[in-house]
Amino acid sequence: MKVTYNRAPHIPDALSMSPGPDCDETSPFAAVGASDLVFAATGRDDDRDLRTLQFTVWKQGSSTKIYDQALNVDAGGRASFSLARSNFTDGQTYQWAVRSIDSTGAASEYAPPGSGTCTFDPSDSTGYRLNVSPRDTSDAPGDTNGDTQPDLWGITPEGNRDMYSGAEGDLHMNIPGAHRRGINLTADGDKDGKADYPGHGMGSDGKPALITHQGDFAPGDGIQDLLARMPDGKLYVYRGDGYGSVDIEWRTELWLPSNAQVPSTFTQIFATGDLDNDRRPELLVTAGTDLWAFTGYTGSTFTTATKPASGWDALDVVNVGAKDLLFRNPGDGKMWLRKGKSNGKGGTDVAAFASGGGLPGRRRRLVRRQLDGVEHPDGHGHIRHQR
């Protein structure tokens, strides 16, 4: 006698809608502006045969579906799709749900579980603020405030985020790099003598968040966004506001393939911009002695994780040029240049960083000049003053 036992997949979780409130089940429902929407969720199946996530979007009170499709999941069980703003009417209320389906056709209940439903209200008048003058091109690489110069975000010793404007190659000016609904995190709104949101970028153990920026990760508005591995161990994208700052409430958790290290193990993150010429931003991270490259970005998800190198000493990834990787080995204090290789598509093969040799980076011109607009790679350094 042969018995086949199949368990239905779990209800999806990690529901997200970008830009927007993710899954809002409580009235009054959040409004979203005049922007296309990206929906995403993650499924899981104990039998390891999860195949699709079925997304459904409809106008409240209507039986007609605006969207009703089963989408193949990636290796991490994640699926996403985009709907044009033209599908929605200003001032109306819309809802969406998602369920998991395995290879046998067995399905979970729809998420969110219970009696609630993900709900939102499109509003042309309530949309996200337009913070910069419209242009027909995206911000320059690393430029967070629209002045065409690359800038630097940093975590202060108190755990606050500052943005240092790269005006003509100098980094002597800084402004608060984070706020909450337009209010500085160090403001004392309730007049109790204490900052309202102090140390947002610092964990209770005194370890700061890992941050990086170079690329438009959300929601495709041409403005540079901030990636952060926060003290809770999760990786987020904070949408840039165009003024060199981010609203801490405008963040979306990033999802990685199942073969990747969990973000809590990362020791450094480094946004590279479009490294492989797929017109999407990429991310390099170090986890222990391993170097990882995350590619295939879409809908708050990296679809591919590649480990170009392992068994390295602790590294500081300093800069990624058009084809090369520049890094520092704290063990011997030397800068090294690992030459990349073409992927045949006008970009760099990230897997090639596993080889290619290493050249000591002794020529100073390898690590300067891009801050003042000249096309040479460069880096930022920190010097600890000792007595």
Give the model's pLDDT for residue 64: 94
CA angle 82, 292, 9 (to 5 degrees): 50
> Which whole-number Å values give the CA distances from 63 to 53, 57, 59, 66, in the listed order?
20, 10, 8, 10
Rounded to whole angstroms, how far apart are CA atoms 211 and 236?
10
* CA-based nearest residue to 206, from 229, 227, 231, 226: 231
Give the model's pLDDT for residue 364: 28
Spatial strand order of the sheet with 37-42 comes to 13-18, 37-42, 78-83
pLDDT digits (tens, 9 = 90+) for 67-116: 999 999 998 899 999 998 889 988 789 999 999 999 999 999 999 988 88
DSSP track, 321-381: -SSEEEEEETTTTEEEEEE--B-SSSSB-GGGGGSS--EE---GGGGSSGGGT-SS-----
Nearby residues of 261 by Cβ (< 8 Å), 6 or more positions away: 285, 287, 290, 292
Nearby residues of 81 by Cβ (< 8 Å), 6 or more positions away: 38, 39, 40, 55, 67, 69, 71, 299
Helix (H) or strand (E) holding 164: strand 161-165
Instruction: Count other Cβ atoms within 10 Å, centred on residue 266.
Output: 18
Q: What's the token pair of residue 234?
A: 């999760």
Give the model's pLDDT for residue 144: 66
Rounded to whole angstroms, how far apart are CA atoms 34 and 300?
19
Nearby residues of 55 by Cβ (< 8 Å), 6 or more positions away: 39, 41, 67, 68, 69, 71, 79, 81, 96, 97, 98
254 touches 227 (CB < 8 A): yes
CA 329, 211, 220, 141 torsion-angle sign: negative
Task: Give the residue carrying structure tokens 């009703």.
Answer: 68
Q: What's the token pair of residue 56?
A: 């459904």
* CA-based nearest residue to 218, from 192, 239, 197: 239
Query: 19: cis peptide before it, omega within 30°?
Result: yes
Computed on alpha carbons and rounded to an integer, the radius of gyration of the chain in Å comes to 22
| Neighbouring-strand partners of residue 99 | 54
Give the model's pLDDT for residue 346: 73
Give the model's pLDDT for residue 130: 39
Residue numbers in the chain where pLDDT is lower than 50 = 125-134, 321-322, 356-377, 381-387
66 touches 96 (CB < 8 A): no
Give the model's pLDDT for residue 155: 82
Give the model's pLDDT for residue 141: 67
Rounded to whole angstroms, how far apart are CA atoms 38 and 12?
16
